[in-house]
Amino acid sequence: MKGTLKTKAKRFKWIWFFRMAAMLTVVTPIAYIAIWAPAIAMPLYNMALFQPWKYPVGLYDKPIACGIKPEDVYFKNASGNKLHAWLYKVPHAKKIFLVNHGNGGNLSIRMELAGKLLKTGNSVFVYDYQGYGRSDGTSTMATICDDGLAAYNYLTNDLHYDPNQIILFGESLGSVVAGDLAGHVKCAGVILECPLYSVLRRGNELIPMTRFYPDWMWPKGGLDNSKVFAKAHAPLLIISGTKDNVIPVGHADDLYAIACQPKSYVRIEGAGHTDLSSPLFDAGIGQFLKGI
């Protein structure tokens, strides 16, 4: 009798164990996917994506680029947050570059880029997203493009630039900001340096789990340049390096392939991420400007 009871007890425990194991096998992946879903984990994605330097961190004591000292400019976005920018004015310039910079640092470390663009004889307007440098607020995937639109509106409404004078320049993450703008406003042209095909694609490459989520779950449809430039757009120049270890050159290759005309591509052999050292960078922009 005692032996029978012990056998039943052991059998019961094993059944309980296998039931729990089966339940965990099913529930754990579902719970993991749910926890990382954009609606729940977006604050974590934003923290990983945006790496701002707050003032006074940066190179604020050396703002001069190409011999020009910038004007400090402040303007507000749609949410009422104050954004900071530097305006480099070239006398009698025909055009102005609206620079949407990458996800790290702040505008103060974009002096080399500003100098390169100023050498073309055109003015430069480089601003900081929310939470960067002297700008108020906090950047998110849902709001970064609104900051770009606020900068564009400041150029047109306050500084009275004609849309045909504005060249949208997007660096790295800023490429999707420039791309989003290009899909909504008029401009003279668009230059994308080391661009993303889409934020969603890069996220899928870095975090395979994100492939489980449909595009509509992400802000701005995944911040997708391919959707913008597959349609009619202003003249487009793409610049990328084959040794880019931050955004693989395949993003630029595929974006160029899918983009409609007018378009051009400067593919620099051996160049890294946002590498400005190649003379092909200057030559490409110079040729592009002649065409527009």
Which residues face 237 on adjacent strands?
191, 264
Beta strands 263-268 and 104-105 are unpaired
Residue 177 lies in a domain: yes
- What's residue 248's pLDDT? 97
- What's residue 15's pLDDT? 65
Let me know: does 258 contact 230? Beta carbons within 8 Å.
yes
Residue written as tokens 């790295």? 172
Structure tokens at 211: 């492939």
| Residue 275 confidence (pLDDT) above 90 | yes
Residue 272 lies in a domain: yes
CA–CA separation, 264 and 249 (whole Å):
15
| Residue 17 confidence (pLDDT) above 60 | no
Percentage of the chain exceeding pLDDT 90 = 74
Residue 9 lies in a domain: no
CA–CA separation, 211 and 216 (whole Å):
12
Over the chain, what is the mean pLDDT?
A: 89
Structure tokens at 4: 């029978």
Q: Domain holding 165: CATH number? A: 3.40.50.1820
Residue 169 lies in a domain: yes
- Residue 79 per-residue DSSP state: T
Residue 281 lies in a domain: yes
| Residue 1 confidence (pLDDT) above 60 | no
- What's residue 281's pLDDT? 97
Instruction: Kindly report, residue by residue over 106-119, the tens digit of the pLDDT.
Output: 999 999 999 999 99
Residue 26 lies in a domain: no
Which residues constitute the domain of residue 105? 53-291
A 10 A CB-CB count for 47 gives: 11
Instruction: Kindly report, residue by residue over 237-267, the tens digit of the pLDDT.
Output: 999 999 999 999 999 999 999 999 999 999 9
- What's residue 160's pLDDT? 97
| Residue 268 confidence (pLDDT) above 80 | yes
Please state the domain count of the chain.
1
Instruction: State whether residue 281 is helix, strand or coil.
Output: helix
Residue 193 lies in a domain: yes
Name the residue with higher pLDDT: 74 or 37: 74
**How sure is the predictor about 43, in pLDDT bands with cuts at 50, 70 and 90?**
confident
- The set of residues, in sequence order, having a beta carbon less than 8 Å from that of 7 and lying 6+ positions away, is none
Instruction: Kindly report, residue by residue over 197-224, the tens digit of the pLDDT.
Output: 999 899 888 877 777 777 676 666 568 9
Instruction: Kindly report, residue by residue over 110-158, the tens digit of the pLDDT.
Output: 999 999 999 999 999 999 999 999 999 999 988 999 999 999 999 999 9
Residue 231 lies in a domain: yes
Taking the whole predicted model, whether its pTM rises above 0.85 is answered as: yes
- What's residue 220's pLDDT? 62
